[in-house]
Structure 1
Amino acid sequence: PEYLAVNWEASGGGAFAVIPLDERGKVPDVIPLFRGHTATVLDTDWHPFNDRVIASASDDGKVMIWQVPLGFSLLTDAEEPADVAPSARLSGHSRKVGQVLFNPAAENILASASGDLTIKLWDISTGSAVHTLKHPDIVQSLSWNADGTMLATTSRDKKLRMWDVRQERPAHESPGHEGAKNSRAVWLGEHNRVATTGFSKMSDRQLALWEPGNPNPIGGFTVLDSISGVCMPFWDDGCNCLYLAGKGDGNIRYFEYENDKFEFLSEYKSPDPQRGIAFVPKRGVNVHENEVMRAYKTVNDTYIEPISFTVPRRAETFQSDIYPPCVGSKPAVSAEEWTAGKSGVPSKIDFESIYEGNAPVEVTVDYKLPAPIPAPAPASIPAPQKVPEPTHAPASIRSSSIKEQQGSMIALASKYEDKHDDVEEPSSFDEISKLPQRSAMPARFEPKASSPTKTTSAPLPQPASPIKSLFSEPTPMTSAPVRTESPIGSGPVVETALDQIKVLLETQTKMLSAQSHHIERLTAEVDSLKKRVGSASPDQSERIRQLELELEEMRS
């Protein structure tokens, strides 16, 4: 990417500015603007395969296509630099156009959403609308899937819709966030999932993950905080990270998507609220600085600040684990092919070739959109298993119950039972699996605030360290089950074991008989004392109480 577009307040309205990314510092007092709209510009979007083409939407109901002139610069010697005129005007909406979004796979296909309750799909090379989607209410956000065949929308009627755009009908529709404020949706790249941000009835900001065809969010709605600003989601397909930037606050949270849930990594915090924010395409990051994402935010309408998200590593070689191949600058299909029903995912480029300073090398893509999965039934959470704790040997020997004695005898007999086959038996101890260990040096994922275009701005605070590693997964350490061979003895060994069992039986029989006689004696003594003593003295009452306690203990 070479340029950054910013909505600009100018006399007469209907203008926006394009700023070259390599021109930093204070901009001149008078700069060339992109003029053509007769009302405020509401949205802009860069062409994914041509860094010099940009589309704009305005309050005047028009969609315009612009081309940045060759050698465009803000630093000119002219007293009144010439403004740039649009290269094409797309007319068809009857009310204001709030969103424009290029198809990420097909060349020159643009979606525009209007207050006239329609979404039009344009072929900007011909200037004609190839499809029109009739939406029940005002659209609040748009997001394409990876191959450009489905379009996710959120709207004022609090519903999430996923459109089959070439059939001009919603393939899936489900209730979304219940709050009255705006909600946003973003398709998670090549995953068959959609993330949404919105508000609850109590005006709490929420995050949700959706599967097409499932009317309920996976894992329900997650409450983020109670800030009133709309949360804008951005997806990084290379690192499987979701960035949430709040409008009106200076914080940017980022999460890692894994196993159908978002794991919080860390948060970039700044005292300066952002009025607007944009993220560069993945192919625009600096691989030599271990930069995985970069954003630009407007601060108080006075300057634009770049925010760099980097992985702090000291390696001097290419980091392939944080730089998988990303979408390049060549479309998968042309506009005519896409309109005819053909689809695909654009070819990807290898970051290693860019790291070495060579031209980007294309990598083949084998992508198939996963089929919708039926809504899973809610799984019951298993009760945690209790780990047996070691017990200390008692000081005094306590008589066992009859059931315990029978169990010990059966266990002893089965231990010396003859075996007819050499089969190993597992250990009698419960095997406790080891927990997966974390990697010794997890890769932290921290944003780094670059110097803004305004030279007087102070550096922003660095965020806290993330909770978990972003790019390295903990390697589970497994151990083989411990097995012990049970002794298989011959005839004399078995006879010795039987003799031991007989001795144990005789000992237990004598013990039970002695206990029974003792219980009978105590019972008789307690009964006789109760009969002879009507009003007992304190010493006698104490003696009776002690005998009763001893009797109860013997019975137990």
Structure 2
Amino acid sequence: MARVVRNSKFRHVFGQAIKKADCYDDIRITKSAWDSTFCSVNPKFLAIITESAGGGAFLVLPLDKVGRVGRNVPLVSGHKSAVLDIAWCPHNDNLIASSSEDCTVKIWQIPDGGITTTLTQPTVDLVAHQRRVGQVVWHPSALNVLLTSGSDMKIFIWNISKSTILSTIDCHSEVILSVAWNYNGSRIVTSCKDKMFRVINPRTGEVIQSGAGHQGGKPAKAIYLRDGRIFSTGFSRMAERQYAVWDENNLSAPLTMVELDSSNGILFPIYDEDTGIIFLCGKGDSAIRYFEYTPEAPYIHYLSTYLSSDPQRGIGFMPKRGLNIAACEIARFYKLLNSGLCEVISFTVPRKSELFQDDLYLDTAAEEHAITADEWINGVDADPKLIPIRDLYMGPKSPIFDISIEPKPDVVIEKPNPSPKSVKKDINVSNNGINHKVQ
């Protein structure tokens, strides 16, 4: 009997590393054993947690500053202990949050063009946790709302413009391993060292649902999918790596659970809400597996695997606004290697036509926020505002696209320099790689 091949427009997606000269090299990448990706990227900047003596620091580079970075580059260095997590604000490409073993969270304003001297004074200092803060996650649609998770088993949700706590979540009996918002920020899902998953109302701290997750002894991760289901990675009792899909309203049993392999690296699920593709990136793995999610069983469909010879220490994922639409690029990763190299990997869909491929690109999250922090805490929910990706496309003759940066409410005491009206990126894609030129 002939095999029936599942029809998918992403069946032929392939990944390709660009040439080393267009990557970022000679970086003192952190040696921390913390379960973090150590990297965050947006259409303007690349941020990487670095190894530093006498405190915690991270590196911020404009995307066009490729090549050898060196050891004398200015850093963002205001923490008293190691930095554990960093995250760019989805509503302001110049704003980044960092968390640390020093129990604090700091918000930093990065000027256009990057920093020229080491930055030690944060824009906002958030102090409430009693132990190290392992994760920072921005609200997907509400301006200035930031979630922080600490080893004190507490979650705080902040309005960073006022440095005030909007809500406190104190329902975990052991260390929280991961936290993620749902699509509109009305719920969060957590994984915990007690091997339980919890769906929580982030405004009240009420546990809406809870259930036993992966039963292995190593950390599990859980994220929300766009339709409200939950995707998780973890380990079985026999230490085999697994992934699973769950109904957020019934965590008593997974909708599906699949065993992958017996490797011991923690799997970080990275989800593209526009395409439904889930990338699995394991600490210490040299491969990136990717799957397509569909609402119908069996839910998760294997697409392919990107293989390389070097294991990854950390990973960053570029938002859709920063991709090369003219080259049918649907994803781009910034992979940290133990050698100090940050390797850029581009995932594209091969197409013969040079016209805009509207079947590949749904409207994507815009930089503009949908609601304010006050509206959110008072019960207003809103999906992220969307922008047509066609607006970022200038046609096959010239792969240059203008991204208008709209003025946004200021979250700092002193107003930063205004963003330029447009950022032009000339990204040349060839067999040799991607060249970034910011004009």
TM-score (norm 1): 0.63
Match 1:43 to one of 85, 98, 110: 85
Q: CA deviation at 1:136?
A: 2.2
1:275 matched to which residue of 2? 313
Tell me how large the CA RMSD over aligned residues is: 1.9
CA displacement 1:9-58 (0-9 Å, x = unmatched): 11212111112111110013301111111100000111011011001110
Residues 343 and 219 of structure 1, relative CA distance in 2, 3 Å threshold:
closer
Counterparts of 1:430-445 in structure 2 under 5 Å?
Answer: none
Counterparts of 1:291-330 in structure 2 under 5 Å?
Answer: 291-330=329-368
2:173 matched to which residue of 1? 136
2:68 matched to which residue of 1? 26
2:217 matched to which residue of 1? 180
CA displacement 1:324-358 (0-9 Å, x = unmatched): 11111111100111111111012211111211345
Residues 29 and 116 of structure 1, relative CA distance in 2, 3 Å threshold:
closer
1:497 matched to which residue of 2? none
Letter in 1 for 2:345: I
Q: CA deviation at 1:85?
A: 2.4
Paired with 1:346 and 1:66, the residues of 2 have a C-alpha distance of 23
Query: Is 1:113 aligned to 2:113, yes or no?
Result: no
1:471 matched to which residue of 2? none
Residues 116 and 308 of structure 1, relative CA distance in 2, 3 Å threshold:
same
Query: Is 1:226 aligned to 2:226, yes or no?
Result: no
Paired with 1:241 and 1:108, the residues of 2 have a C-alpha distance of 28
Paired with 1:349 and 1:216, the residues of 2 have a C-alpha distance of 37
Paired with 1:93 and 1:358, the residues of 2 have a C-alpha distance of 41
Paired with 1:449 and 1:154, the residues of 2 have a C-alpha distance of 41
**Bigger Rg over Cα:** 1
Q: Secondary structure at the match of 2:65?
A: coil
Q: CA deviation at 1:285?
A: 1.3
Aligned residues of 1:305 and 1:452 also touching (Cα < 8 A): no
Aligned residues of 1:229 and 1:249 also touching (Cα < 8 A): yes
Aligned residues of 1:353 and 1:360 also touching (Cα < 8 A): no
1:171 matched to which residue of 2? 208
Paired with 1:296 and 1:51, the residues of 2 have a C-alpha distance of 17
1:12 matched to which residue of 2? 54
Paired with 2:432 and 2:366, the residues of 1 have a C-alpha distance of 26
Paired with 2:321 and 2:434, the residues of 1 have a C-alpha distance of 21
Counterparts of 1:129-528 in structure 2 under 5 Å?
Answer: 129-134=165-170, 135-189=172-226, 191-258=227-294, 259-260=296-297, 261-356=299-394, 357=401, 450=433
Aligned residues of 2:81 and 2:101 also touching (Cα < 8 A): yes
Counterparts of 1:536-547 in structure 2 under 5 Å?
Answer: none
Q: Secondary structure at the match of 1:36?
A: strand
Q: CA deviation at 1:359?
A: 5.4
Aligned residues of 2:141 and 2:370 also touching (Cα < 8 A): yes
Paired with 2:435 and 2:354, the residues of 1 have a C-alpha distance of 27
Paired with 1:237 and 1:317, the residues of 2 have a C-alpha distance of 23
Aligned residues of 1:7 and 1:41 also touching (Cα < 8 A): yes
Residues 84 and 43 of structure 1, relative CA distance in 2, 3 Å threshold:
same
Aligned residues of 2:169 and 2:204 also touching (Cα < 8 A): no
Aligned residues of 1:306 and 1:452 also touching (Cα < 8 A): no
Paired with 1:116 and 1:50, the residues of 2 have a C-alpha distance of 29
Q: CA deviation at 1:246?
A: 0.7
Paired with 2:315 and 2:402, the residues of 1 have a C-alpha distance of 31
Q: CA deviation at 1:237?
A: 1.1
Aligned residues of 1:354 and 1:360 also touching (Cα < 8 A): no
CA displacement 1:280-339 (0-9 Å, x = unmatched): 112221101100011101011411001111001121100000011111111110011111
Q: CA deviation at 1:217?
A: 4.2
Letter in 2 for 1:60: D
The gaps in structure 2 that reach 5 residues or longer are 1-42, 395-400, 407-430
The gaps in structure 1 that reach 5 residues or longer are 363-447, 454-556
Paired with 1:142 and 1:149, the residues of 2 have a C-alpha distance of 13
1:376 matched to which residue of 2? none
Paired with 2:335 and 2:435, the residues of 1 have a C-alpha distance of 10
Paired with 1:217 and 1:297, the residues of 2 have a C-alpha distance of 34
Q: Secondary structure at the match of 2:179?
A: strand
Count of residues in Structure 1 that have an aligned counterpart in Structure 2 = 361
Residues 297 and 358 of structure 1, relative CA distance in 2, 3 Å threshold:
closer
Q: CA deviation at 1:215?
A: 2.4
Q: CA deviation at 1:220?
A: 3.4
Residues 180 and 265 of structure 1, relative CA distance in 2, 3 Å threshold:
same
Residues 359 and 35 of structure 1, relative CA distance in 2, 3 Å threshold:
closer
CA displacement 1:349-373 (0-9 Å, x = unmatched): 11112113455699xxxxxxxxxxx
Q: CA deviation at 1:452?
A: 10
Q: CA deviation at 1:241?
A: 0.6
Q: Which has a greater percent of strand? A: 2
2:32 matched to which residue of 1? none
Counterparts of 1:542-553 in structure 2 under 5 Å?
Answer: none
Q: Secondary structure at the match of 2:93?
A: coil
Q: Secondary structure at the match of 2:371?
A: coil
Aligned residues of 2:77 and 2:118 also touching (Cα < 8 A): no
Q: Which has a greater percent of helix? A: 1
